[in-house]
């Protein structure tokens, strides 16, 4: 079965610090990769996605992620975080499972940014 | 009103009772997903609809769980003989086409928080 690992469960940063959240997945074939964010009291929403092409993808609010196929990784980065980035971040992989493509989510990383 | 909506937002029930959770996807989205999210965990896939049919129900934990989407839009997740372990937030998401080639990311609803006493 497909698995997605997010290494950091809780991250605490000060404003302007750089951020990198790790995500690794287990499927060796073609996948679609996503990062979702859930701000306090809000729905899950898409932050960025990778389908093909340039392995460095840019999303909303200055976030980016790099797909490294050889490492089965899709780490999320932001050079300078803001207090408003405080949220839960989920990595997700869309891969074949039982004949269809379904998303598998990591357990999430809670990010707290201190002003 | 362009987003995914779910009702009720909260549901408290007693062990052994039957519950129905409703999801209204974004108009025109053919793919609809149900997830269950427990505290401190990511969404756990339950079932995926493509149109009216369940394309993949491999995530349903047992036969107490069932979902329908009779007209290819609104979906209902049904849980029979609820157990305390069913307590979680049940999320619904929709996407335009679903599948690997068409998946562009999902739009999530606010969820239904189910508490089984």
What pLDDT digit, counting tens, does each position of B46-57 carry?
Answer: 999 989 988 889
State residue A22 phi and psi, 5-degree precision: -85, 145
Q: Is A26 exposed, middle or buried (0-12, 13-18, 19+ CB in 10 A)?
A: middle
For position A58, what pLDDT does the model report?
A: 94
Closest CA to A110 of B40, B88, B105, B90: B40
Average model confidence (pLDDT) for chain A? 92
Is the model more confident about B53 or about B2?
Answer: B53
Do residues A91 and A66 lie in contact, with contact meaning Cβ atoms separated by under 8 Å? no
pLDDT tens figures, A37-63: 999 989 999 999 998 899 999 998 999
Tokens of B110: 């606010």
pLDDT classification of B76: cutoffs 50, 70, 90? very high
Best of A44, A48, A99, A108 to substitute, by most chain B Cβ atoms within 10 angstroms, is A44
Q: How far apart are CA A47 and CA A60, in angstroms?
A: 6
Nearest CA in chain B to A50: B104
pLDDT of B1 reads 53
Q: Which of B108, B81, B117, B97 is nearest to B23 (CA)?
A: B108
Number of residues written out for chain A: 115
Least trusted range by pLDDT, from A66-80, B13-27, B51-65, B94-108: B94-108
> Between chains, do B33 and A101 touch, taking CB under 8 Å as contact?
no
Neighbours of A59 (CB within 10 A): 18
In chain B, what is the greatest distance between 2 CA atoms, to the nearest angstrom? Answer: 42
Give the pLDDT band (50/70/90) at residue A94: confident
User: To probe the interface with B, which of A102, A105, A106, A109 has the most B CB atoms within 10 Å?
Assistant: A102
Which of B41, B48, B108 has its CB closest to that of A107? B41
Q: What angle do CA B52, B58, B59 make, to 5 degrees?
A: 100
Examine the pLDDT at A114 and tell me if it is beyond 60: yes
Read off the pLDDT band of B3 (50, 70, 90): very high
- Give Cα A63 to chain centroid, integer Å: 10
């Amino acid at each position: 079965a497909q698995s997605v690992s997010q290494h950091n469960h809780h991250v605490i940063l000060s404003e302007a610090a750089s951020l990198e959240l790790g995500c690794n997945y287990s499927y060796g074939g073609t996948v679609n990769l996503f990062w979702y964010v859930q701000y306090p009291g809000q729905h899950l929403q898409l932050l960025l996605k990778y389908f093909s092409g340039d392995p460095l993808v840019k999303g909303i609010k200055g976030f980016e992620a790099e797909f490294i196929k050889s490492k089965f990784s899709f780490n999320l980065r932001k050079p300078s975080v803001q207090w408003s980035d405080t949220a839960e971040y989920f990595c997700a992989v869309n891969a074949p499972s039982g004949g269809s493509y379904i998303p598998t989510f990591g357990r999430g990383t809670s990010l707290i940014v201190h002003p | 009103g362009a987003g995914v909506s779910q009702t009720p937002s909260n549901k408290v029930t007693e062990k052994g009772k039957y519950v129905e959770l409703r999801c209204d996807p974004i108009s025109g989205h053919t793919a609809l997903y149900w997830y269950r999210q427990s505290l401190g965990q990511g969404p756990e896939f339950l079932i995926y609809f493509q149109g009216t049919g369940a394309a993949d129900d491999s995530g349903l934990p047992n036969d107490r769980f069932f979902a329908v989407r009779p007209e290819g839009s609104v979906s209902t997740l049904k849980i029979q003989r609820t157990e305390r372990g069913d307590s979680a937030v049940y999320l619904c998401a929709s996407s335009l086409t679903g599948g690997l080639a068409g998946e562009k990311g999902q739009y999530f609803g606010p969820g239904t928080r189910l508490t089984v006493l």
